[in-house]
Amino acid sequence: MQPTATVLVYSDDSNTRAQVRLASGRRPAPDVPLVEFVECATPAAVLSELDKGGIDVCVFDGESVPMGGMGLCRQVKDEVFNCPPVLLLIGRPQDAWLATWSRAEGAVTLPVEPVEFAAALASLLRTQRLQSA
């Protein structure tokens, strides 16, 4: 049985969640595990899933309402012990400084560009795997 990684995707927009799933595919790079997705449309659902454990990487939509992914990222970095790395989806490249403020480990712009997104997700999965070893 091949190992899998669990990726939590937070967005209030089901189309954005679908873009993330399609961009990464089953495996975003040959040297990382297969991915399984946990989709959340509300901040409460994200916190519940993180409390359960088993999440390897989070992808947060910075444009979500009523709580954007940047604010949620900062919150989970403060509140969740051993918080998984977070990849933020940002509206424009100029918002990268906000991703830094939120303490996210990575950021890519919307709409999701498959090659860029898969590379960023794979990088976080590699980092997470090294830290877990």
**Has residue 1 got a pLDDT over 60?**
no
pLDDT for position 2: 64
pTM summary value? 0.95
pLDDT in tens, 73-129: 999 999 999 999 999 999 999 988 999 999 999 999 999 999 999 999 999 999 987
Backbone φ and ψ for 79, nearest 5 degrees, come out as -105, -20
Amino acid at 117: F
Domains and CATH numbers, the chain: 4-132 (3.40.50.2300)
The residues, ordered by sequence, that sit 6+ positions from 8 with a Cβ below 8 Å of its Cβ are 37, 38, 39, 40, 46, 49, 50, 55, 57, 58, 59, 84
Angstrom distance (rounded) from CA 18 to CA 23: 8
**Has residue 72 got a pLDDT over 70?**
yes
- pLDDT band of residue 54 (cuts 50, 70, 90) is very high
Q: Give the residue-averaged pLDDT of 58-70.
A: 96
Of 97, 85, 88, 66, residue with least CA distance to 124: 85
pLDDT in tens, 74-90: 999 999 999 999 999 99
